[in-house]
């Protein structure tokens, strides 16, 4: 049995305004830094054996306070990387809504592959495989923390609970939130979705 704390990165100045995707140089703002400190303060007491993160700056910066408190390295995981939105990367919300593909993104995301990017299906398979590998590497009765991104976390949780990919947008994963997963030989469970640090 392995416990996985799945954390969305803290807020940045583009949150809710622009699809930054894998753009480099996107850093936490002051609120995001506070969210990272709150996450670290709560999870530092959870007997964490390893810390994993998407390689992007905003996830690494969210993981850093916990890494310092526990004196554990931040292990990069490409499986936790943001969805590759291809040509959509950097688009504002207003621009995305004007595109014909946007309706399909909202209604049938399982059918979407972003131009010069990846599909939601491929992204889901990637993160699901990464979490399974992380759980297996951790071993029995261990807890790990994985820092990732909104859509990636929602895709992982949708798979975990048997939700169709086309419904994954209905899940809420706020910046600085913690979702709690349990991996075991008898099956995998979602114990908490989108929790605030104070709830742990």
Question: What's the CA gap between 145 and 123, in Å, rounded?
Answer: 20
Catalytic-labelled residue, pool 9, 27, 60, 169: 9
Pick from 100, 68, 67, 78: nearest CA to 22: 78
Q: Which helix (H) or strand (E) holds 194?
A: strand 187-195
Q: Could you confirm whether 169 is annotated as catalytic? A: no
Q: Which two tokens stand for residue 34?
A: 């506070």
Which residues of 17-168 form beta strands (DSSP E)?
A: 48-53, 74-76, 142-148
Q: Which two tokens stand for residue 22?
A: 């894998």
Question: What's the CA gap between 49 and 183, in Å, rounded?
Answer: 15
Strands 178-184 and 2-8: antiparallel
Q: Could you confirm whether 60 is annotated as catalytic? A: no
Catalytic residues, by residue number, are 9, 149
């Amino acid at each position: 049995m392995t416990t996985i704390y799945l954390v969305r990165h803290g807020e940045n100045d583009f949150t809710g305004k622009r699809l930054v995707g894998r753009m480099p140089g996107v850093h936490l703002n002051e609120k995001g830094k506070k969210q990272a400190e709150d996450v670290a303060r709560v999870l530092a007491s959870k007997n964490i054996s390893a810390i994993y993160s998407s390689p992007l700056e905003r996830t690494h910066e969210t993981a850093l306070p916990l890494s310092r408190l526990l004196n554990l390295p931040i292990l990069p995981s490409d499986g936790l990387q943001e969805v590759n939105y291809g040509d959509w990367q950097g688009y504002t919300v207003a621009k995305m809504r004007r595109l014909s593909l946007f309706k399909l993104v909202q209604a049938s995301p399982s059918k979407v592959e972003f131009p010069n990017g990846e599909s939601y299906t491929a992204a889901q398979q990637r993160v699901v495989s990464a979490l399974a590998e992380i759980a297996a590497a951790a071993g029995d009765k261990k807890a790990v923390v994985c820092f990732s991104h909104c859509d990636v976390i929602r895709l992982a949780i949708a798979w975990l609970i048997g939700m169709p990919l086309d419904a994954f947008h209905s899940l809420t994963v706020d910046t600085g939130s913690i979702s709690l997963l349990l991996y075991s030989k008898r099956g995998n469970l979602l114990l908490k979705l989108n929790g605030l640090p104070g709830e742990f």
